[in-house]
């Protein structure tokens, strides 16, 4: 079953590798993954779609939260959340279908981002299932090229971000460094 995870993490080299590595290491296949900086440029927000047995969802979240670069991992699968995906699609089609394509595009709320004698480039956002339909409709008009962004999600619930405060370390006074030690 597809699980949607929203991650807030430090924007550090290798942080993404830790997240994807963790999933691969534990035998899960990543279906989609998006990541970008947040308003705070030191942090990134990641949305992951991953195939996980529902019984193991809590375990995956716990493992994610153990990663030191991860500030918060949230399971959005069954909580109120808005999920959207972007599709960029190029359709090559004969002249007689152009009007029909534009009509279909309008139905799905798609925008034309490029138009040429060969066809259109269209842009549409929506829920993934809706986009599947859009893609198959467009396919009926001719050859298509599709790029999908993967789902991005935002939780509709307020979840408090719990961060660890700085810890003061009892540092021992440095021993005088001498050459006699050896």
Partner 1 sequence: MDDCNEEGELAAMSNLMSGARILLECLARENVEVIFGYPGGVTLPLYDALYEHPIRHVLVRHEENASFAASGYARASGRVGVCCATSGPGATNLTTGLVDAMMDSIPVVAITGQVTSKMIGSDAFQEADTFGIMRPATKHNYLVRDVNDVARVVHEAFYIASTGRPGPVLVDITKDALQGQAHYTPVHEIHLPGYKVVTDGHAGQIRRAAQMMWEAQRPMVYAGGGIIHSGAHDELRELVELIDCPAVCTLMGLGGLPGSHPNFVSLPGMHGSYAANMGLTECDLIIALGVRFDDRVTGRLSAFAPHAKVIHVDIDPAEIGKNRAADLPIVGDLKRVIAKLIKILKELQPQAAEQSAAARQEWWRRVHGWQEEHPLEPVFGTDEIKPQQLMYEINRISDGKAIVSSDVGQHQMWAAQFIRFDAPRLWINSGGLGSMGFGLPGAVGAQMANPEATVFAIAGDGGFQMSVPELATLVNYGLPVKVIVMNNGYLGMVRQWQELFYNNRLCAVELSAFPNVELLAAAYGMKGRIVRTPAELRSALQEAMDEPGPYLMDVRVSQYENVYPMVPAGAAINEMVLAPPQPVPVGKQ
- Residues 114-133 binding partner 1 (CB under 8 A) are none
Decide: is 136 part of the binding site for partner 1 (CB under 8 A). Answer: no
Decide: is 39 part of the binding site for partner 1 (CB under 8 A). Answer: no
- The tokens describing 70, both together, are 């991860």
CA torsion, ordered 99, 105, 109, 113, to nearest 10 deg: -90
Which residue lies nearer to partner 1 by CB, 18 or 97?
18
The single residue among 38, 65, 136, 140 that binds partner 1, judged by CB under 8 A, is: 65
Which residue lies nearer to partner 1 by CB, 13 or 117?
13
- The tokens describing 101, both together, are 């394509």
The single residue among 39, 95, 117, 174 that binds partner 1, judged by CB under 8 A, is: 174
Q: How far is CA 74 from each of CA 78, 79, 170, 177, rounded to the nearest angstrom?
A: 11, 10, 34, 48
d(CA 146, CA 35): 20
Decide: is 93 part of the binding site for partner 1 (CB under 8 A). Answer: no
4 Cβ neighbours under 8 A, 6+ residues apart = 47, 48, 49, 75, 76, 77, 81, 83, 151, 153
Decide: is 59 part of the binding site for partner 1 (CB under 8 A). Answer: yes
The single residue among 10, 31, 123, 132 that binds partner 1, judged by CB under 8 A, is: 10
d(CA 154, CA 161): 14
The single residue among 96, 129, 157, 175 that binds partner 1, judged by CB under 8 A, is: 175
Q: Would you tell me which residues interact with partner 1 (CB under 8 A)? A: 9-10, 13-14, 17-18, 21, 25, 58-59, 62-63, 65-72, 162-164, 166-169, 171-172, 174-175, 177-182
């Amino acid at each position: 079953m597809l699980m949607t995870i929203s991650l807030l993490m430090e924007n550090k080299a290798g942080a993404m590798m830790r997240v994807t590595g963790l999933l691969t290491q534990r035998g899960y296949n990543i279906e989609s993954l998006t990541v970008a900086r947040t308003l705070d440029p030191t942090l990134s927000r990641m949305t992951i779609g991953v195939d996980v047995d529902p019984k193991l969802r809590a375990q995956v979240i716990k493992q994610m939260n153990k990663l030191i670069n991860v500030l918060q991992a949230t399971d959005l699968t069954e909580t109120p959340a808005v999920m959207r995906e972007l599709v960029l699609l190029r359709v090559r089609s004969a002249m007689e279908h152009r009007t029909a394509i534009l009509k279909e595009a309008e139905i799905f709320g798609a925008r034309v981002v490029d138009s040429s004698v060969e066809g259109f480039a269209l842009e549409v956002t929506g829920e993934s299932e809706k986009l599947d339909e859009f893609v198959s409709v467009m396919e009926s008009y001719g050859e298509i090229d599709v790029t999908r962004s993967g789902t991005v999600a935002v939780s509709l619930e307020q979840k408090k971000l719990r961060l660890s405060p700085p810890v003061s370390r009892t540092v021992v006074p440095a021993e005088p460094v001498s050459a006699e030690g050896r």
